[in-house]
Structure 1
Amino acid sequence: MRRIKIISLAVLCVFGLSLQASSTRITYKSAKSSSSYYQMAVQVGENINHITHGKLSVTIEESQGSVQNVKEARKRTGNYVFTTPPVLIKLAQAKKAMFKNDNPKSYDKIRALFPIPFLTMHFVVRADSGINTFADLAGKSILIGKGSFGAKEAAKYIKLFGLAGKVKLINAELSGAVAALKNGQIDGFATSGSYPAPNVIEAAASTKIKILSMTPQEIKLTKRDPLVIPAGTYPNINHDIMTTTLPVGVYTTTNMSEKTAYELTKAFWESKKNLEKQNIWWKAITFKNLNMFHTKLHKGALKYYEEVKANLPARLK
């Protein structure tokens, strides 16, 4: 009997190793662990692992921001997947801004997969800070994060709104923003997570906050798309917030096989109903959002979209 048990255990071990060996490993480079995009990545990874019965094994990696994600695409091998606004891919391939010292050809292998909820700018301040408009930020301290897209966007807005040199911008990790706000060390913080953003929810739960609303003129200055955060999205915020948004997509490189890209894209869309049950922000994602991409789709992703007869711009094929 003991010999039979040993043989059975050996067979199970071999079977388990066989299943593990057949699993395709994917590295999903996301965002800071305190951001909504990291939470999204975890949701996507868990759902894809589940719907493919482990055939696709997604590991989530924390990131310092979208710029780092794009830059790593040059040297990462295998099934590297990452998130970024399309505009950063455009800048990288044109050798502009933060990519001006890079070889643009090293970004030619980047390919699009699928869209995810968009970046939404939040300027969160203490309710007792006396800040009601962006003009009121003069003489105040705002934590804007460190190295992320949101940090750069916040600094840009401060300058565009005529507040350069008038606001103390703190370049520190966003993970400490809520505690610093609660303890009165800062007057507010800026974050670019999709709404409802976990760190904004956390801030609202620990202290009374306001979220600044932009005027139409201020939104026009940013050259970003307008977005309304509905009243009631956050505790005690009972009015609509006018702010800006920026599309975000999931990308890979031509290092990924057509088969893997097809299975990954298919698994994402087939998981969407369950993702919507986990968080409301997924409901906004449809095939129409594919129009935001300017980078060609991976051949595997393209195969899936053609199978489901998605309406695709010619530039993506």
Structure 2
Amino acid sequence: MKFTSLLAGAALVLMAGAALAQERITYKSAKSTSSYYQMGVQIAEAMKEGTDGDVIVTVEESQGSVQNVMEVRARGADYVFTTPPALIGLAQNGKAMFEGKGDPAFDNIRALFPIPSLTVHFVVSEDSGVTDFAGLAGKTVLLGKGSFGAREGEKYLELFGLGGKVDLANVELSNAVAALKNGQIDGFVTAGSYPAPNVIEAAATTGVNILSLSDDQIAQTKRAKMVIPAGTYAGQDAAVTTTSLSVAAFTTTAMSDDVAYQLTKTFWEQRAKMGEEAPWWSGVDEGLMSSITTKFHPDAVQYYQEAGIPLSDAQMYMRL
């Protein structure tokens, strides 16, 4: 009887320990001032609520997507990070910004789920009188420095015949709204999920136009088409057609089966609720899945199969 009691007591202790176990995840996102950092905080809250506290996510600030990918080399099974899917391919092939920095760890990167896309905004003040790209000639535009939006802005000006015809302001993007309001600049370019906080502020305090791209212009950029619905920003009476770059959450094959499954399942189950609190989540749906060219974690694959969300052969990864 004593031996049986001891076994029963040990079992209860083990069960209690299991019930108290928590999975702790590090989520590497972006600068703390960016919308993507805010998204990380929302995902952390959603994971805690959706798993009754079984998954605790800590959001880490980052200097950008390249850093997020590079840290895969030194991180463990609890690491989740965000980046455009295109950067994963570059890292795995040692190209562009990853030239000479290749590492076998990059081959173990696997996708979990899409998050809001980087959406390009060409924002001009109403006082500038600019209503299309041709109207930017002779105007002062802020591109910022080193960001995706800055690179896209510069590329588009060249593609659309405006190279050398636009005065580029030497002002930090963080000062764009103030500079637009006091007339230092006529417009600025920013890329982030919509609605973008700096565009919301500019539209509410200054009055702006957001330029649309034609289908031909979008084709020239070689980016995906994105439509910002009418009413997204104050004074925006019509939909704006622009471009975007997909972004997703990734981990590695080191992440355990249960955790990868739970993260993916909880994200999709909490997405609608997150959309009620922040409109940028409403733009995330199954249609974004095709933009992820990296293979998915095998237990994310399990969830998608159960949910009836199709994956391509290139996205499938199953353990043998």
TM range (shorter): 0.7 to 0.9
Runs of 4+ in 1 over 4 A off after TM superposition: 18-21, 170-173
Matched position secondary structure for 1:153? helix
Is contact 1:34–1:198 with CA below 8 Å preserved after alignment?
no
Query: 1:169/1:72 Cα in 2 relative to 1: closer, same or farther (>3 Å)?
Result: farther
Identity %, equivalent residues:
56
Cα distance in 2 between the residues matched to 1:29 and 1:186? 33
Match of 2:153 in 1: 154
**Partner of 1:8 in structure 2?**
none
The alpha carbon displacement at 1:270 in A equals 1.6
Counterpart in the other structure of 2:181: 182
Matches within 5 A, 1:30-109: 30-103=29-102, 105-109=104-108
How far apart are 1:127 and its partner, in Å? 1.5
C-alpha spacing 1:175/1:164, structure 2 compared with 1 (3 Å): same
The answer to which of 283-292 and 103-112 deviates more is: 283-292
Do the aligned partners of 2:73 and 2:103 also contact (CA within 8 Å) in 1? no
Q: Aligned partners of 1:155 and 1:312: how far apart in 2?
A: 35
Q: Secondary structure, in 3 states, of the residue corresponding to 1:296?
A: coil
Give the drift of 1:64: 2.7
- 1:280-306 CA deviation, whole Å, 9 max, x = no partner? 332333334322222111122122223
Pair 1:63–1:136, CA change in 2 (3 A): farther
Conserved in 2, the CA contact under 8 Å of 1:94 and 1:104? Answer: no
Q: Cα 1:41–1:183, aligned 2, differ >3 Å: closer, same or farther?
A: same
Which segments of 5 or more consecutive residues in structure 1 lack a partner in the other structure? Answer: 1-17
Give the match's secondary structure for 1:273. Answer: helix
Per-residue CA shift, 1:227-250, capped at 9, x if unaligned?
A: 222222110121221211222211
Q: Deviations over 1:156-177 (max 9, x none)?
A: 2122222233334457653332
Is the 1:178–1:202 Cα contact (8 Å) retained in structure 2?
Answer: yes
- Take 1:232 and 1:217, find their aligned partners in 2: how far apart are those partners? 25
Secondary structure of the 2:314 match is: helix
Change (3 A) 1:265 1:172: farther
The 1:27/1:185 distance shift into structure 2, 3 A limit, reads farther
Question: How many residues are treated as equivalent by the alignment?
Answer: 300
User: For the aligned residues, what is the CA RMSD?
Assistant: 2.4
Separation (CA, whole Å) in 2 of partners of 1:86 and 1:208: 34
Match of 2:184, SS state, is coil
Residue 11 of structure 2 corresponds to: none
Shift of 1:54: 1.9
Q: What does the per-residue CA deviation read over 1:240-270, in whole Å, with 9 as the maximum and x for residues that have no partner?
A: 2121122221111223222211111111112
User: Normalising by structure 2, what TM-score?
Assistant: 0.85
Q: Which residues of 2 match residues 172-251 of structure 1 at below 5 A?
A: 173-251=172-250
Q: Is the 8 A contact 1:69 1:82 kept in 2?
A: yes
Instruction: Flag the 1:55–1:145 CA change in 2: closer, same or farther, 3 A.
Output: farther
46-55 vs 142-151, greater mean Cα deviation: 142-151
TM norm structure 1? 0.85
Q: Which amino acid in 1 is paired with 2:41?
A: V
CA distance in 2, matches of 1:123, 1:239: 15
Look up the equivalent residue of 2:37 and give its one-letter code: Y
Corresponding position of 2:267: 268
